[in-house]
Structure 1
Amino acid sequence: MKIVVRLLSYSLYYKVALLFALASMIIGTLAGLIVPSILGIAVDEVLQSGSKNKLLILIIVIITVSCIRGITAYLQDYLAESVAQKVCFKLRNELFSKIQSLGFDFHDNQTTGNLLSRTTSDVDAIRMLILFGTIRGLSSIITLISIIVILFFLTWKLALVVLAIIPILIWRTIFMSKKLRTLWTEVQSAIGKMTTLIQENFTGIKIIKVFASQNYETQRFNQQSSSVANFTYLTARVFASQGSLLTLLFSLVTVAVLLVGFYEVKSGQISPGQLVSFIFYLAILAIPIRMSGFMINTYARSVAAGQRIFEILDQASSIIEKNDATNVRNLRGHIKFNNVFFKYKSTENILKNINFEIQPGQFIAIVGGSGSGKTTLMHLLPRFYDVSSGTITIDDINVSDMTIGSLRNNIGIVMQDTFTFSGTLKENISYGSENATLPDIIKAAQFSELHEYIDTLPEKYDSWVGERGITLSGGQKQRLGIARTILTDPPILIFDDSTSSVDTITEQKIHSTLSTIAKGKTTLVIAHRISTVQQADTIIVMDNGSIVNTGTHDQLLSTDNLYRRIFEIQLSN
């Protein structure tokens, strides 16, 4: 119930539209309750007296009431949909912003498909709640209560006959609510898994074709799609059983009302017109009771969706910016790691007792085997993760005391896997530097040895880059990432094995260019190929999450067995 109340509270941001929708609903609902009484009067007075004037008056009243109902129904539906769409817009934007603000540790444990389903199908479930749970739900409640009062006013004996089904309806409502809530949770979860499978398949379609795994992937999709279908069938079956039960109950009640009503009219306790009005009101009563099944289904689905949405909205970010954080500009790049330990949740320390210092403008290389902690170490500097213990400072300011935005604006990172967006080459290179001019973009591309390739394209820098850089080679994507970082012109540069996908000649050109660009900047290079970092001021050797040695290339060759072994293996290759 708390989830439903919290979801419905979003509609209060749009009070004017909501109030007009509610007003239209109330007027339309009450107007609809007048018609059965008019028909009862027509039977008792007009048919017996044969008065054409009275008949004409009643016809005009019915037409007027119908026009009012038509106008209010339009306003109710339009305004309710307007409120529902605005709530979805606000909720979806909050969800997207929250996902954007959460740290690497959150995204490490999430799948793209799961997040997609929460921002699409789950949010759409909330739209149905606003439409049918708020406006039409209240309409059903008002109709239900009003008709029960009217039925007792007409004849309390027949009203008691109708009320005999209430305990059965209450029991069925409670049962359906619990059953459907569980089923819709399963449906939403299954949709998330299916969306993940679709996203992975479309992204990795080339790998699938390389290994001729189309049949295997089709079987996987069929299994997951069947899971969604089966859970949906179960919800439909539970929902359908409600409709059939209500049809049976109301058929039995109608028969009972006709039998009891016949004797009531015969004995003079009620008039024929009153019995007609009662039967018409009974038919109207069936509408909100039948709607109750749909409303329960909507509530159950919205609760399941709301749980998944608020699970993210209530997620506390592991990277918290202090209220009095310093907005830093133009850092010099004096970096210090002091007794730094780091571990992921519920794991042993990945980094252990890391201590080193980098002077402004120095070129530092970090080498080591796979899994030695090189990339994790560099992720701590811009606070993608926070240290478990120890401190990291830049220019003697703890990174945790800086605003996250200003800290990351002072650090340029080229990652191993450069991500490209669907857009032009110009847009991709200038990502993060949206105000960059075309000459600036061209200059950055020249530095990264990408301009020569772009210049051969018919549309040059306006050439379209497919999804995830499908039109670019691995080396071209890495050079694009380097150009993107160069364009931001930060005082600290981090290259995470960023030339691993380029050929040797291009790599030499890039490193020659980087030595020019990096002048006056603090530069950290994570490298698997020692040949690319021999000129570093200091080389840090890592193994199993610890720094095992530091020094220049020549010093480490003579003193460090691990470094020498890596170098000799690469040299022989």
Structure 2
Amino acid sequence: MNSARMIFKYWLKSKNKFIGESILHLFSSMFYIIYPIFIGRMVGTLNPNRSIAANVSELLFNFFFVLLFASLRYIFSRAARLRGAEVSSSATYHLRTDISNAIYRQSFAYFDKTETGQLIARATSDVEETGQIFGSGLNLTLQSSFQLAGLIIGFIIFGRELMFVLLIAVGVSFFLSFIIAKKLKPIFFETRESFGEITNTIRENIVGAQVVRLFNTQTKEYHKFLKNNKRFYEASVDSVKYNSYYMPIIQSLIGILTILTLFLGGVRIVEGTMALDALITLLSYVVALSFPLMMLGQLMLVYIQADAALTRIGEVLDSVPDIKDLPDAIPITSLKGDIEFDNVSFGYTHDHRILKNISFKLPSGKILAILGTTGSGKSTIINLLPRFYELNDGCIKIDELDVRKYIIKDLRKNIGIVSQETFLFDKSIAENIAYGVENASRNNIIEAAKIANLHDFIVSLPKGYDSIVGERGTRLSGGQKQRLSIARALIINPKILILDDSTSSVDVETEYKIQKALTEIMKKTTTIIITQRISTIRGADYILILDRGRAVGFGTHDKLLSSNVLYKQIYETLYQKQKTKV
């Protein structure tokens, strides 16, 4: 969708108010054109042959109408602007809502290839940049259009022979606007892109503050910021430089047109083909012409700025997620949890496959441990089960039905995931645990925390479950964050539970307590575990061995230990590392 269509689309989100504003501007412009007529009459109708009292009376009569129509113009113009503010706020509100929804509906693959800072800039500063076109831009468009139309009518009525003066002004104005707009368009795109890079640099330095300081790269990051900041500065200066040509040229043009109108009108008065009041009215129209012409230049600037922002926003709005519900997707009313991978192949890029022809079956209520070398595709498998990514080949079935046949929301509500990298919101412990459940009771929250062996720690805090964890959980240790993440996964009562090295940051004693508490839970769920812990591996019903994206072993611990060379190597290596703790 191009920028012009987007602008009208969001203007019309408040259709009735938009129409109301247009009508108010129409009347305001009509009064703007009428009162110069009475200014002309104030001068043109003065007659030295009449008494002073008669001339003063005529003067006051015309002055009254000048004041009346000027006041009416102010009243209607102000009412239009108030209505325009509502249209603008509504447009910005809906645009911000739409881009937020567009971001929320994207699949993981979209975020893999899109810089977070650029997305933040598009959802914040780019949306704010459009505020002018939705607000002042709407006012300028309506006012300038109606007033220009009114002035053309006025010239036709009072000085048709001087119409060429008006046409010269309008022609020069439009030509100048076109030339400047052509120069400004790439400049404004540069300002938006450079601002996005500034946002991304700042975000990376905040999120990665520990890494930046660990490697003493503050100076390097500072220079990277300066580079993008200079891009933004230079683009901003260039935009002002080109835009500064417009106003002085229009002002000079209006001055020349005023002199030209006086000269040509004076000649016609001498010839007796034009009345004095008509010339004064035309001069008032020439002066009045300065507003719509100058505003056309301002409108051009506002539009080009908005065009750069809307183009970037449009890229997000037009992005179609590659993971979405099929037209015939069905809801999940109940789930056993049988899992089957049937010849599954997948790559994050088309030319590089991470998983190659993976096949296995996991009955409901059973535990599967996944082992493999680094980069063998262990985490990729658990990302495919809840449809975070779309398969290249093969299919994944749950309860003998392809996962693509389920409604995505229902599918994910039945899968609890505890990932290696725990993300927590800057909210209370209770809110983080209950994040996936609406209106979760405090008893359910406490029960989940107890299973995750976190309850005793929580109640030792001054504010207990109402304690704020800090941004990304900075007020908690690594082990505490992992246990909170386990509680968050358990509270939704998942039919399938995925633990991606979820106890790597806890000690052996705590892990034992968590595993003991999870035993009853796991009897009711199908569990997939990625782990390096010997005790967890031996306790699994099945073990899947991955090597370079291929399944090279699947079975029980005893079976694989006696028949699978790679599993025996991995197991013995882990055993040697952990034998003092087993």
Q: Tell me the TM-score normalised to structure 1 length.
A: 0.95
Q: Which one of 131, 137, 150 corresponds to residue 154 of structure 2? A: 150
**Separation (CA, whole Å) in 1 of partners of 2:77 and 2:398:** 64
Partner of 1:91: 95
Which AA in structure 2 matches 1:448? A
Given candidates 463, 470, 473, the residue that maps to 2:467 is 463
Q: Where does residue 7 of structure 1 map in the other structure? A: 7
Amino acid at match of 2:232: V
In structure 2, what is the Cα distance between the partners aligned to 1:131 and 1:506? 59
What CA distance in whole angstroms lies between the structure 1 residues aligned with 2:14 and 2:57? Answer: 47
2:31 maps to 31
Match of 1:370? 374
Q: What is the match of residue 303 of structure 1?
A: 307
CA deviation after TM superposition for structure 1 residue 147, in Å: 0.9
Q: Which moved more, 1:184-193 or 1:286-295?
A: 184-193
2:541 to 528, 537, 542: 537
C-alpha separation between the residues in 2 aligned to 1:566 and 1:336? 25
Q: Distance in 2 between matches of 1:247 and 1:56?
A: 32
Q: Secondary structure at the match of 2:326?
A: coil
Kindly provide the amino acid, as one letter, of the partner of residue 22 in structure 2: L
Q: Counterparts of 1:240 and 1:418 in 2: how far apart (Å)? A: 52
Query: Superposition pairs for residues 366-515 of structure 1, below 5 Å?
Result: 366-515=370-519
Structure 1 residue corresponding to 2:340, chosen from 336, 339, 345? 336
Q: Is residue 224 of structure 1 aligned with residue 220 of structure 2?
A: no
Helix, strand or coil at the partner of 2:462: coil
| Post-superposition offset of 1:47 | 6.4
Deviation at 1:530, TM superposition (A): 4.0
Structure 1 residues 195-234: aligned runs within 5 Å:
195-234=199-238
Give the superposition deviation at 1:13: 2.9
Matched residue type, 1:276: I
Instruction: Count matched residues.
Output: 573
What is the 5 A alignment of 1:61-80? 61-80=65-84
> Which residue does 2:261 correspond to in 1?
257
SS in 2 for 1:518: helix
* C-alpha distance 568-350 of structure 1, shift in aligned 2 (>3 A): same
Is 2:92–2:134's contact at 8 Å kept on the other side of the alignment? no
Residue 238 and residue 47 in structure 1: after superposition, are their counterparts in 2 closer, same or farther (change >3 A)? farther
Secondary structure in 2 aligned to 1:533? helix
**CA drift at 1:32:** 1.2
* 3-state SS, counterpart of residue 422 of structure 2: coil
- Once the two structures are TM-superposed, the CA of residue 2 in structure 1 deviates from its matched residue by 4.1
Offset of 1:219 from its aligned partner? Answer: 1.9
TM-score, normalising length: structure 2: 0.94
- Cα distance, 1:308 vs structure 2: 1.7
Q: Please report how far the alpha carbon of residue 157 of structure 1 lies from its aligned counterpart in structure 2 after TM superposition.
A: 4.1
Q: Deviations over 1:304-353 (max 9, x none)?
A: 22222222222111112122211113311111111111123432222111
Q: Give the Cα–Cα distance (whole angstroms) in 2 for the partners of residues 162 and 29 of structure 1.
A: 17
In terms of mean alpha carbon deviation, does 251-260 or 71-80 score higher?
A: 251-260
Task: Indicate how the Cα distance of structure 1 residues 165 and 87 shifts in structure 2: closer, same or farther if over 3 A, else same.
Answer: closer
* SS at structure 2 position matched to 1:253: helix
**Deviating more after overlay: 507-516 vs 412-421:** 507-516
Given that 2:32 and 2:147 are in contact with CA atoms closer than 8 Å, whether structure 1 keeps it comes out as no
Aligned to 2:580: none
SS in 2 for 1:159: helix
1:351 equivalent to 2:347? Answer no
Distance change >3 Å, CA 202–CA 458, structure 1 → 2: same
Q: 1:365 is paired with a residue of what secondary structure? A: strand
Aligned to 1:518: 522
1:555 to partner: Cα distance:
3.0
CA separation of 1:47 and 1:92: change in aligned 2, threshold 3 A:
farther
5 Å-filtered alignment, 1:86-165, equals 86-165=90-169
Q: Which residue number corresponds to residue 361 of structure 1? A: 365
The range that moved more, 307-316 or 168-177, is 168-177
Give the Cα–Cα distance (whole angstroms) in 1 for the partners of residues 77 and 100 of structure 2: 34
SS in 2 for 1:432: coil
CA contact (8 A) 1:474 1:501 kept: yes
Please report how far the alpha carbon of residue 266 of structure 1 lies from its aligned counterpart in structure 2 after TM superposition.
Answer: 3.5
Distance 2:7 2:312 in 1: 12
Between 1:96-105 and 1:159-168, the stretch displaced more is: 159-168
For residue 479 of structure 1, report the CA deviation from its aligned partner: 0.8
Distance 2:159 2:343 in 1: 85
User: How far off its partner does 1:501 sit?
Assistant: 1.9
8 Å CA contact 2:42, 2:63 repeated in 1:
no
The residue correspondences of 1:304-323 to structure 2 (distance < 5 A) are 304-323=308-327
Inter-partner Cα distance in structure 1 for 2:373 and 2:139: 62
Q: Secondary structure at the match of 2:491?
A: helix
The C-alpha deviation readout for 1:106-161, integer Å capped at 9, x for no partner, is: 11112222111212222223332222443420220121122123124322343323
1:429–1:481 contact (8 Å) kept in structure 2: yes
Contact 1:80-1:131 within 8 A present in 2 as well: yes
Is the Cα contact below 8 Å between 2:109 and 2:389 reproduced in 1? Answer: yes
Q: Which sections of structure 2, spanning at least 5 residues, go unmatched?
A: 578-582
- Pairwise CA RMSD: 1.9
The percentage of counterpart residues that share the same residue type is 34
Q: Which of 280, 284, 289 pairs up with 1:285?
A: 289
Q: Which amino acid aligns with 2:30?
A: L
Q: Secondary structure at the match of 2:497?
A: strand
3-state SS in 2 of match to 1:243: helix
1:526 partner amino acid: I
1: distance between equivalents of 2:460 and 2:47? 91
Alignment partner of 1:33: what SS? Answer: helix
Cα distance in 1, alignment partners of residues 427 and 554 from structure 2? 43
- Whole-angstrom distance in 1 between the partners of 2:237 and 2:478: 45
Displacement of 1:70 after TM fit? Answer: 2.0
Q: Contact between 1:330 and 1:410, CA under 8 Å: does it hold in 2?
A: no
Cα displacement string for residues 369-407 of structure 1 (whole angstroms, at most 9, x for unaligned residues): 221111111111111112112121111111111111111
In structure 2, what is the Cα distance between the partners aligned to 1:219 and 1:130?
A: 36
Matched residue SS, 1:464: coil
Structure 2 Cα separation of the partners of residues 186 and 445 of structure 1: 50
User: AA paired with 1:185?
Assistant: F
- The Cα shift of 1:256 comes to 2.7
The 1:159/1:572 distance shift into structure 2, 3 A limit, reads same
What amino acid sits opposite 1:17 in the alignment?
Answer: K
Q: Distance between the aligned counterparts of 1:14 and 1:378, measured in 2?
A: 45
Q: Hey, what does 2:85 align to over in structure 1?
A: 81
